[in-house]
């Protein structure tokens, strides 16, 4: 298969499997999405989704969040891991949002990445899913599959993102990154991987490990 044929097959297969992929994190607006994505770092969406309803019941906006102490936030989010760093980040970004952005999530990579505990991947998810601005957030599933499909060198997530943006049409980035995540979890996991179940990798060929 040519690289174009591989790309076309990936897009076609993912559209058939996941025509309307939903964001797997519980949220209701850009702020709650930002907090949920921040919490998901080195954790699972399922675990985050058990914690955010408790947190958002107390504070689902920056004004209520800064009424809580960092210690209170940490005690709620402890099960998701990295709670000392994440609680300081949530409190700090909420304070900055009030002081610099009238309490609203700014639709800007530069502004989002200036917040504490917010990296490029988190900013990319918020830009793509909250504001519908083309972005290609690369998580562990996308990084793994892009390498497995021999579409990137796999050296780092920055290179994987650059390659994904070069190979796939910009108009489908926001949908595609979710589709690849769902596919990776269901058909092409890191552990317990079965090539026979992985129709995309089986069809287009894979990088030799």
Give residue-wise pLDDT tens across range 82-138: 999 999 999 999 999 999 999 999 999 999 999 999 999 999 999 999 999 999 999
Could you tell me which residues come within 8 angstroms of residue 160 by beta carbon, excluding any fewer than 6 positions away?
138, 142, 143, 146, 147, 152, 154
Burial label for 53, CB within 10 Å (0-12, 13-18, 19+), is: exposed
Please report the pLDDT score of residue 7 as a whole number: 98
Residue-wise pLDDT for 138-181, tens only, equals 999 999 999 999 999 878 999 999 999 999 999 999 999 999 99
Q: With 60 as the cut, is the pLDDT of residue 2 above it?
A: yes
What are the chain's domains? 3-21+136-204 (1.10.1670.10), 30-131 (1.10.340.30)
Q: 33-85, pLDDT tens digit by residue? A: 999 999 999 999 999 999 999 999 999 999 999 999 999 999 999 999 999 99
Residue 4 pLDDT level (bands cut at 50, 70, 90): very high
Report DSSP state, residue 66.
T
Residue positions annotated with a catalytic role: 121, 139
8 pLDDT above the threshold of 80: yes
Indicate the pTM of the whole model. 0.93
Instruction: Please tell me the predicted confidence (pLDDT) of residue 119.
Output: 96
Residue 208 has pLDDT above 70, yes or no: no
pLDDT at 202: 96
- For residues 65 and 95, give the distance between their C-alpha atoms in angstroms, rounded to a whole number: 8
SS3 16: helix
Backbone φ and ψ of 15, nearest 5°: -65, -35
Instruction: Give residues with Cβ within 8 angstroms of 5, minimum separation 6.
Output: none
pLDDT in tens, 183-200: 999 999 999 999 999 999
| CB 187 within 8 Å of CB 198 | yes
- Predicted local distance difference test score (pLDDT) of residue 5: 96
């Amino acid at each position: 298969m040519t690289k174009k044929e591989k790309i076309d097959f990936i897009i076609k297969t993912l559209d058939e499997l996941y025509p309307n992929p939903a964001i797997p994190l519980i949220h209701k607006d850009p702020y709650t999405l930002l907090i949920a994505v921040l919490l998901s770092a080195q954790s699972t969406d399922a675990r985050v989704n058990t914690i955010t309803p408790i947190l958002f019941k107390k504070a689902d906006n920056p004004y209520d969040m800064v009424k809580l102490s960092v210690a209170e936030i940490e005690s709620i989010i402890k099960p998701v891991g990295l709670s000392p760093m994440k609680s300081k980040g949530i409190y700090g970004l909420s304070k900055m949002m009030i002081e610099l952005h009238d309490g609203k999530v700014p639709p800007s990579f530069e502004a989002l990445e200036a917040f504490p505990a917010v990296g490029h991947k988190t900013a990319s998810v918020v830009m793509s899913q909250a504001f519908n601005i083309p972005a290609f957030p690369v998580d562990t599933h996308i990084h793994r599959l892009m390498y497995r499909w021999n579409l990137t060198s796999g050296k780092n997530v920055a290179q994987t993102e650059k390659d994904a943006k070069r190979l796939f049409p910009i108009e489908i980035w926001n949908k595609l990154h979710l589709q690849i995540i769902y596919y990776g979890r269901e058909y092409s996991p890191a552990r317990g991987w079965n090539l026979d179940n992985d129709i995309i990798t089986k069809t287009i060929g894979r990088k030799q490990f």
